[in-house]
Amino acid sequence: MSATAPVGTALTVATAPGNTPRLLRLPVKVETHSAYLSAGGYELLENVESLLAEVQNAGVLGRGGAAFPLAVKLRTVRSAHTRGHETVVLANGEEGEPASVKDRWLLRHRPHLVLDGMRLAARLVGATRAYVYVSDTEAARAVDAALSEVGFDTFGGLGFSIVTVTPGYVAGEESAAVRAINGGPAKPTDKPPRPFQHGISGHPTLVSNVETLANLPYVQRHGAAVFRSAGTAASPGTFLMTITGAGLPPALYEVPHGMPFTDLLALHGVSPDNVRGALMGGYFAGLLNRDVLDTTLDHETFRQLGSGLGCGAITILTDDCPVAVAAAVLAYFDRENAGQCGSCFNGTAAMAAVAGALRDGVATAEDIARLKRWSVVLRGRGACATLDGAANVAASLLKHFPQIVTEHLAGACDPCRSAAFSAQRPYEVEAVTQR
């Protein structure tokens, strides 16, 4: 059965039917130290190699967007430790995607789960220093309060610091996080080196998403086989999904990988008949048309469509015009780029201008040809992936909604003539803390 808990009036938190929550805690409230302990938290770690093997066998993938195998990151940084290097753990909770809320929710409501995951990660890579990196001040307060509840011995001498930065789309990129903690601006740097090579204070650093780390206590307690009892072979386990759009309040769901998209719609109360498509991975993975109705929620399925789950944020499009949505997202990328790389600074501005003109019915066929070319040739440029995200949005709009693009060229889009979708931070989700 489905367990559901409304959080204030802004967010609904729920688990998929038949899914026992691993990351969510229902009914929703801030989890205390005693409650976390009573549920088996902060379990003694007796064998580091054994847990490393379980993490690898479990196939835990990063939940921050790239879906990179956690075990590979852990072993890479651990190898630096075994060669005599000091290592560091960084829990990345700077949720740069405005349409995502999962990391803030975990930090605000289950800070001990996150800290426990950091404790285990630090043991696995031999770190004695750990950082919680956030932009949400409420999350920072929750983590600070949780740290005050835990005895020093629980963390085995691991030192914690909480670093709070100004929110920004690029601030959550891993090199931006390291740069900010090192005293610089929260903006990406050129790679290489990457943080696992040269990170905080020059030390090899494990940078991992908050939700990713929150899976470690479950793997320690239950093992790889139980972790894999949900999900698919290539996308094991459950994950947190932020759902926006469709004219409904946003929701945070814990669902198993492989769940049919239509089951997600049923959980959220949306009829498939009303769906025009979806904006995937927050903003980064671009748009899909009604083909999304035939998908299952796993990385391999969306890769085949040239899209992705990303950070687990999906916007369901019903009444909003995909052209207007793309224009709003591209305008956001134009405002939020780091301003460090000419290709990104100029490229996002150019694509945003064409998308805005298309929305307003004043673009030309030549403009669309340029947009199509830019969406190909600008990929991979710059210090971070912001330009890739913009290219994804532009390319996916042209690929999946050619008829609507044609209608806009003719000035024939009725929804945009009446009231085109427009937002500074499209489908932004505000976190609400339930005490």
Cβ 13 vs Cβ 251: under 8 Å: yes
Number of independent structural domains in the chain? 3
**pLDDT value at residue 6:** 41
Indicate whether 339 and 190 sit together in one domain: no
Indicate whether 45 and 182 sit together in one domain: yes
> Residue 201: inside a domain, yes or no?
yes
Return the CATH number at 255.
Answer: 3.10.20.600
What residues have CB less than 8 Å from 111, skipping those under 6 apart? 30, 31, 139, 142, 143, 145, 146
Task: For residue 243, list its beta bridge partners.
Answer: 251, 314
**pLDDT value at residue 160:** 96
416: number of Cβ within 10 Å: 23
CA–CA gap between residue 7 and residue 15 (Å, rounded): 14
Indicate whether 120 and 26 sit together in one domain: yes
Q: Which domain holds residue 164?
A: 21-227
Indicate whether 259 and 172 sit together in one domain: no
List strand residue ranges (DSSP E) for 210-343, in order: 238-245, 251-256, 277-280, 286-288, 313-317
Picking from 184, 164, 155, 127, the residue whose alpha carbon sits closest to that of residue 340 is: 184
Answer with the one of 196, 227, 258 that is the final residue of a domain: 227
User: How would DSSP label each residue in 270-302?
Assistant: --GGG--EEEETTTTTEEE-GGGGG-BSSHHHH
Answer with the one of 194, 227, 260 that is the final residue of a domain: 227
Indicate whether 156 and 213 sit together in one domain: yes
Indicate whether 282 and 387 sit together in one domain: no
Cβ 176 vs Cβ 163: under 8 Å: no
Task: For residue 315, list its beta bridge partners.
Answer: 244, 279
**pLDDT value at residue 303:** 96
Indicate whether 82 and 108 sit together in one domain: yes
Give the residues of the chain that fall short of pLDDT 70.
Answer: 1-9
Cβ 19 vs Cβ 6: under 8 Å: no
> Residue 31: inside a domain, yes or no?
yes
Indicate whether 307 and 336 sit together in one domain: no
> Residue 427: inside a domain, yes or no?
no
Answer with the one of 173, 198, 227 that is the final residue of a domain: 227
Cβ 318 vs Cβ 276: under 8 Å: yes
89: phi then psi, degrees, rounded to nearest 5: -115, 135
In Å, what is the CA distance from 405 to each residue of 12, 171, 357, 364, 387?
A: 34, 33, 11, 11, 22
> Residue 211: inside a domain, yes or no?
yes
Indicate whether 47 and 128 sit together in one domain: yes
CA–CA gap between residue 313 and residue 144 (Å, rounded): 27
Report DSSP state, residue 155: G
Rg (CA), the chain: 21
> Residue 293: inside a domain, yes or no?
yes
Cβ 22 vs Cβ 255: under 8 Å: no
Q: Strand 238-245 to strand 205-209: parallel, antiparallel, or no bridges (unpaired)?
A: unpaired
Indicate whether 215 and 328 sit together in one domain: no
Return the CATH number at 387.
Answer: 1.20.1440.230
CA–CA gap between residue 107 and residue 104 (Å, rounded): 5
How far is C-alpha 195 from the geometric centre of its chain's CA atoms? 19
Q: The tokens of 417 are what?
A: 């003539």
Q: The tokens of 332 are what?
A: 């956001």
> Residue 387: inside a domain, yes or no?
yes
> Residue 3: inside a domain, yes or no?
no
Return the CATH number at 69.
Answer: 3.40.50.11540
Q: Is the dihedral of CA 187, 192, 196, 202 positive or negative?
A: negative
Q: Which amino acid is at 173?
A: E
**pLDDT value at residue 8:** 40
* Exposed/middle/buried for residue 196 (C-beta within 10 Å: 0-12, 13-18, 19+): buried
Indicate whether 29 and 103 sit together in one domain: yes
What is the per-residue pLDDT across 50-60, written as a single tens digit (0 to 9) for each? Answer: 999 999 999 99
| Rounded percentage of the chain residues whose pLDDT exceeds 90 | 89
Q: Strand 159-164 to strand 313-317: parallel, antiparallel, or no bridges (unpaired)?
A: unpaired
Report DSSP state, residue 32: P
CA–CA gap between residue 116 and residue 43 (Å, rounded): 9
What is the per-residue pLDDT across 149-198, written as a single tens digit (0 to 9) for each? Answer: 998 889 999 999 999 999 999 999 999 999 999 999 999 998 899 999 99
> Residue 388: inside a domain, yes or no?
yes
CA–CA gap between residue 303 and residue 261 (Å, rounded): 15
Q: Which amino acid is at 131?
A: Y
CA–CA gap between residue 351 and residue 330 (Å, rounded): 7
Indicate whether 287 and 354 sit together in one domain: no
Sheet holding 205-209, edge to edge: 159-164, 129-134, 88-92, 205-209
